[in-house]
């Protein structure tokens, strides 16, 4: 089958499109004929590699995907061949204390599809049946593929972790990213007052269309936190900050928060190391909360809202599988607004 894979770690030119063996499913798994895949920053991290990442090469990348079931394992009871499905890319053991408590993303064996196991950027990919959900006929498979990783991440961090309330101020860094564009919609759905940042006028307009009340240009106004504090929140600060940028924005995130505020960190795309003025933490009594992926319940909650049309995945651009290097380059340069897709 045709797939996008690496045979060694390095720069994007290590990414190849060619033939690999078709996956063989276990009794509890389904084999999916992929129609669309969606890019995520984890693709770039895996291509580059990191200390301790020991993959069996070649390795097929890709975490998000949608398609049509080609084959079901003998123990599968939820699906039939021909069903249209989309997947939850979070994999866990299903047997430990955390998994049995409904906290799959805390499992010590938790991983993301495409990370340690072959991913979705291939003609066929496999997942356990509990990681799939049927896609209603009214939803296109490209929109379905654009949703899971970003929306399940955003849903968990805003509801379970931040406990965002109606009328609270929330600031979301980098409106153009997949998680951020999902978070803007979810925060608006929850009744919060949404403030976000981005790098140009076009993206500012797109963020406003998604539901943001206030958008700042961090290129033209690098001290935007002062503007937000004085002009938008009347010198109160914001209740919640979502920061997946990491090193470049962490200090700004701390400054933006009001006393008792919550900082939620679902990623660190610009680097994981940052200095903290601990006095800011204890004097303002801040909460710093990590958030990774979601459990199965949260995944189904947010996907149901998408199926009902209450939330809508934002698609930036669709590339053919053969142009995956060009697609990943666009992602690495932060040129997108929303999700970049591959048509398989």
For residue range 48-92, what is the model confidence (pLDDT) as tens digits?
Answer: 999 889 999 999 999 999 999 999 999 999 999 999 999 999 999
**Which CATH number applies to 2-147+313-343: 3.40.1000.10, 3.30.420.40, 3.90.1170.50, 3.90.180.10?**
3.90.180.10
| Helix spans in the chain (H) | 41-48, 97-100, 141-145, 148-155, 178-189, 201-210, 224-227, 250-256, 278-283, 296-307, 324-332
Q: Residues of CATH 3.90.180.10 domain(s) within the chain?
A: 2-147+313-343
The answer to whether residue 246 scores a pLDDT higher than 90 is: no
Q: Residues of CATH 3.40.50.720 domain(s) within the chain?
A: 151-290
Of 247 and 32, more confident: 32
Question: What integer is the mean pLDDT of 128-157?
Answer: 97
Yes or no: say if 131 and 30 are a contact pair by the CB < 8 Å rule.
no
Task: Quote the percentage of the chain above a pLDDT of 90.
Answer: 93
> Is the domain covering 151-290 a CATH 3.30.70.1070 domain?
no
In 3-state terms, the chain is what percent helix, strand and coil (to 5)?
Answer: 30, 25, 40
CA distance 303 to 135: 9
Indicate the pairing of strand 287-290 with strand 257-265. Answer: parallel
CA dihedral defined by 146, 37, 206, 175, rounded to 10 degrees? Answer: 80
DSSP-derived 3-state class of residue 288: strand
pTM: 0.95
**Predicted confidence (pLDDT) per residue in 169-189, tens digit:** 999 999 998 999 999 999 999
What was the pLDDT predicted at 219? 92
Question: What integer is the mean pLDDT of 146-158?
Answer: 97
Average pLDDT over the chain, rounded to an integer: 96
What was the pLDDT predicted at 160? 97
């Amino acid at each position: 089958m045709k797939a996008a894979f690496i045979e060694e770690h390095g720069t994007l030119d290590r990414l190849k499109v060619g033939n690999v063996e078709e996956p063989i499913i276990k009794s509890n798994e389904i084999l999916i004929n992929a129609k669309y895949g969606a890019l995520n920053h984890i693709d770039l991290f895996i291509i580059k590699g990191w200390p301790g990442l020991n993959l069996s090469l070649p390795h097929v990348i890709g975490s998000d995907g949608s398609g049509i079931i080609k084959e079901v394992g003998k123990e599968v009871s939820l699906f039939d061949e021909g069903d249209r499905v989309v997947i939850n890319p979070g994999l866990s053991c299903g047997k430990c204390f955390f998994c049995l408590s409904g906290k799959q993303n805390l499992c010590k064996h938790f991983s993301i599809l495409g990370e340690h196991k072959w991913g979705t950027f291939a003609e066929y990919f496999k997942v356990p049946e509990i990681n799939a959900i049927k896609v209603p006929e009214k939803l296109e498979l490209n929109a379905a593929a654009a949703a899971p990783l970003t929306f399940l991440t955003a849903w968990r961090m805003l509801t379970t972790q931040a406990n965002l309330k109606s009328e609270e101020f929330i600031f979301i860094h980098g409106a153009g990213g997949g998680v951020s564009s999902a978070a803007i919609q979810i925060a608006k759905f929850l009744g919060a007052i949404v403030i976000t940042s981005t790098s140009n006028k076009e993206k500012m307009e797109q963020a406003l269309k998604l539901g943001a009340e206030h958008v700042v240009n961090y290129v033209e106004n690098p001290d935007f936190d002062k503007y937000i504090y004085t002009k938008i929140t009347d010198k109160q600060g914001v209740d919640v900050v979502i920061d997946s940028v990491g090193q470049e924005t962490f200090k700004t995130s701390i400054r933006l928060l009001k006393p008792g505020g919550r900082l939620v960190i679902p990623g660190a795309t610009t680097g994981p190391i940052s200095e903290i003025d601990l006095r800011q933490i204890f004097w303002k009594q801040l909460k710093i909360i990590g958030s990774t992926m979601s459990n199965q319940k949260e995944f189904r909650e947010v996907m149901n809202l998408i199926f009902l049309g209450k939330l809508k995945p934002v698609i930036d651009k669709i590339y053919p599988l053969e142009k995956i290097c060009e697609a990943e380059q666009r992602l690495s340069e932060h040129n997108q607004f929303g999700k970049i897709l591959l048509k398989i």
